[in-house]
Each structure stands twice: as C-alpha cells, then as structure tokens.
Structure 1
C-alpha cells in the first residue's frame, strides 16, 4: 500500500510497503527516462525530480538503494511506544509480529465549564493526573520494553534496533523523561507515527506502518 501527504517545505511524503518498493523504483525510473543514484537519493534524468529514500527504523546504517532492498526482507527487532493522555501501548515487534505487548487506559478529568478558582483547581488536578499517567506509562514501558533495549537482558540478536513512537509527542516525551528509559530514548527514531488512542489493534497497525519506507518526492 502507498500513502502520500504534503511535506513541509515542499514536495510530498510517500510511504510504501517494503514489498512494493522495487516496483515503485521501476516506476520512478520509467517515468523519468532513467535516474541517477547518489546514495539514497534518486534524480530524474529528464526533469530533475528527486526522491529521497528514508529506510525504516533500525536500518539507519543503510546508505544506498541496493543495500536497502537487500535489508528489507529481514527487518530488525523494534520497540513501539504509543502514548496519549488517556492510554499507553507498548510492544516488541519482530518483523510485523508483536511478541510482547501491553495496553493500559487511564482516567483523566475533563475540563470544567466553571471559571475562577474552580477552573484553576481542575487544571491543577488534570496536570497532576497527567504526571501520574506518564509515571504509570513509564512503569509499563520499563517492564515490557527494557528487556529488549541495548544493555538489557536480551541476547545480542534479540536487542531492539530502534524505538518507534507514536501518538501525542508531549506525552511520549514525558514518558521517556523517566531515567530508567534512557536506553530506549537513545535509540528513539525521529519520525513520530500518527496513532489513535492505543489499543491492541492500533499497536498492530503501527507495527506494520513502522516498517514502511518513507520517500520525500520533490516536486
């Protein structure tokens, strides 16, 4: 499956399933009467259009198209952290198969229509609840994900190569601020997945989405 959306600063992002990448590349070469390759950047010979390929999380060491195509069939293990103020979901993923996971929902008071002192009191309560949720979410991440983190108890072949995050960035940042999760924060992938409130089906969808190759097309 291929999805596309506008890119900040121009062009558009295309996200493509690994098994479709070779066909997509053939199409790019065909539409541009060939292309020049410079690492992971393709430049159309006919009009100068460019396509910059971003390898999936865990394949950051890949530096050219041939190496990317060779690496995609055997993706490394990754960790997933999806967080919103009302829920957290974590998983360890081999390929697109979740081997360990945990989803937890939390209750946070909504906003009040009252003003003045009452509104401030509710705001403080929500802030306190958000802090408590971040702490509980960090506990869950530590329990499920840390064994697969670098320096953890996992065998070398079972160590997660990247942490992929999704959902609410501020909530993710709050969870990863926990010092225990420093080994996971160190392998955090910069791209934040869009994700609904975490539940098992959302984790499964994110596991598939995280494996897609992102391509920045200009124009």
Structure 2
C-alpha cells in the first residue's frame, strides 16, 4: 500500500486488488462500522470518509460489491508509456503483458550557449520531439490499435505533453477515445517498467479524509 497527501486535504492510498477486502475489513473495524453510499464509506465512530476510485476498465462499478466482483476478473487494458528518450506500448491481461514493444530514441540535451546557437539547438530539439511523437505513434498503431476493440481502457504514463502529442495522431483516434484520466508516474520506459505499470494500473485509489 502506498500513500501520499491529496490536494485539498486528506491523503491518497493505493491498494492492490488482492488486499482490498482486508483493507475494507480494517476500515470497518477501526470505525466501529461504516455507512456505504455507493463507493463512499463513512466511519460510524467519527465520520472519517473513504472514497474508492475503481482502476481503469472498471469505471462502471458504482458500489463496493460491484467493484470487488470486477476486480476478480481483471479487464484487458492497453498501456502507453512515453518519455523523450523512450516509448513502450503493451497489452495487459491482468498483470501479464501479452504483447509489447519498447524503443529508445536519441534526443539532444540543452546547450549552455546563447543567441543563434541556442535557438538552433532549440529548433533541433523541437524537430526531434516531433519525430519521437511520430515514431511512438507508429509503435502504438502496430501494438495497440489492432486490439482497441477488445480493450477496456488505455492507461498512459510518463510525459503528459508527449503522450498528448502521440495520441493527436489521427490514426490513433480509437485509442484516444479509450484514454483513462489516470496518469502513471513511471521511469524511462523499458519492459520491466511496462510490467510494473500493469501492476500499478490495477490498483484501487482511495481518498481518505481526514
């Protein structure tokens, strides 16, 4: 279980599907029971609240029982991870990657020079970024697009701006329509990072107040 502060108060925790029942039992036990309103639990003893956010592909779950049932049969999702130096695309059945492609790119870093030279390098970096987005879109087309009809969601991770640029490609419109709002924090994409992303994407996010 991981936890971090939430904007506006409270904190976020992330729970693996296998541990959610135990976490719920603990919440009820700590609060002498709880009232359920859809996916919002309110502690009976002090009014603490826990709002459950289903993982990508299970957005139709509107109550705890439906969520637990859905978690027992993980949906098939697509993964697209991108940073300037690399991109990874994969299909995940549960935590198993069944198809994938990882590619690294060479991108020039910044230069300390000023004036004309700096502008020249900036234009080169912009051109390289466009080229990376295009090549990444090619990879997504090969790995993800043929499976789009069978995917419950597309989960992205890494550089939001680069991901936006990739999914602006008209070929990927069916994938863009499946994009989940959750953005995973990932290291530079490689196969191991893609496998870790498949695990992270299945976790249930819970907003706890206080």
Superposition TM-score tier, normalisation by shorter sequence? over 0.9
Aligned to 1:180: 171
SS in 2 for 1:149: helix
Aligned to 1:34: 33
- CA drift of 1:46 comes to 1.1
Aligned to 1:76: 75
Aligned to 2:198: 207
Q: How many residues get paired?
A: 210
- CA drift of 1:81 comes to 0.3
> Counterparts of 2:141 and 2:10 in 1: how far apart (Å)?
39
> Counterparts of 1:124 and 1:105 in 2: how far apart (Å)?
21
- CA drift of 1:94 comes to 0.5
Q: Deviations over 1:87-146 (max 9, x none)?
A: 100000001100000000000111111110000000000000000000000000011000
> Counterparts of 1:50 and 1:113 in 2: how far apart (Å)?
51
Gaps of 5+ in 1: 151-158
Q: TM-score, normalised to structure 1's length?
A: 0.95
> Counterparts of 2:69 and 2:76 in 1: how far apart (Å)?
16
Q: TM-score, normalised to structure 2's length?
A: 0.99
SS in 2 for 1:72: helix
SS in 1 for 2:175: helix
> Counterparts of 1:20 and 1:39 in 2: how far apart (Å)?
20
Aligned residue among 162, 170, 192 for 1:171:
162
Aligned to 1:86: 85
> Counterparts of 2:48 and 2:147 in 1: how far apart (Å)?
41
Residues 1:4 and 2:3 aligned together? yes
SS in 1 for 2:72: coil
Aligned to 1:19: 18
Aligned to 1:153: none
Q: CA RMSD in A?
A: 0.6
Q: Which 4+ residue blocks in structure 1 deviate beyond 4 angstroms?
A: none
- CA drift of 1:183 comes to 0.6
